[in-house]
Amino acid sequence: MNRAKVIEVRDEEAPAEVESRGGEREGGAESRGTSGSSPATEPSAGEAGAGGETDQASEAEPRPIAEPAEATEDEAEPAEAEAAAPAKPRPAWLRLPALMLAAALVLTGAGVWFTLEARSASGNPAADNLALTDVGATADVTSAVTLAMNRIFSYSYDKTDVTEKAAAAVLRGSAKDSYDKLFAQVRQKAPEQKLVLTSRVSTIAVQELQNGHARLLVFLDQSAVRADNNATDSAAAQLSVTAEHTGDGWVVTALEPR
């Protein structure tokens, strides 16, 4: 009995549930029908879909501002790589202009220095001394005085006249006067002692040379031999010599023993 009642109750509840569900379906259909008859104030599904696609397309398009930033980053990478790479030495042919410029500056400085030195020397009285600057003139007077000293201070007891003639050709003024006095004694004693004297210039220096006037320092080596007993002797002499240039060459105008 109880089981039958339960079945009946369940059977009675089933149509009620069906009716309630059917009512809900009808109510839903009516509500949809009412909404379809109302004015279209909301976008349709198609319009909504088109709008959504447009928004998505606009969002999907790349922004032009971002491109330069990416390009800058791409350019920055090679720049950083170049900065990190070690600097290569410049070839020699690229350094050549700089070397030539440096050499030109050095030569210019040297030229200025030599010019200033030349001007300074020209303003100095010592610059007029040709013994310091004129090699040819110095050699000329040196040769003439050396030859004269060798001749006038060398003699043989039996040929004194040869020495006198040589002295007369190269001596002038006070030099001739002092030499004549000295050689007068030689003419007396040389034949008695049978003396032969040989003199040679060992050293000569031109101290001053300008305007045809020269002052020299002369060192003589002398050796004497007596023919009667073959005795020999040697000595050294030092002289200050003054010479003047004439049309015939250099002549000695002063002789001073030192």
Q: What is the pLDDT of residue 131?
A: 87
Structure tokens at 182: 């000295």
- Tell me, yes or no, if the pTM score tops 0.75: no
Q: What is the pLDDT of residue 48?
A: 42
Contacts of 162 (CB under 8 A, 6+ apart): 155, 156
Residues of the chain below pLDDT 70: 1-107, 109-127
Q: What is the pLDDT of residue 229?
A: 87
Q: What is the pLDDT of residue 146?
A: 97
Q: What is the pLDDT of residue 92?
A: 52
SS (H, E, C) 126-186: HHHCCCCCCHHHHHHHHHHHHHHHHHHCCEECCCHHHHHHHHHHHECCHHHHHHHHHHHHH
Residue 141 and residue 217 in contact, taking contact as beta carbons nearer than 8 Å = no
Q: What is the pLDDT of residue 222?
A: 96
Residue 255 and residue 239 in contact, taking contact as beta carbons nearer than 8 Å = yes
Q: What is the pLDDT of residue 57?
A: 41
How many whole angstroms separate alpha carbon 109 and alpha carbon 203? 40
| Model confidence pLDDT, tens digit, residues 6-56 | 444 444 444 444 444 444 444 444 444 444 444 444 444 444 444 444 444
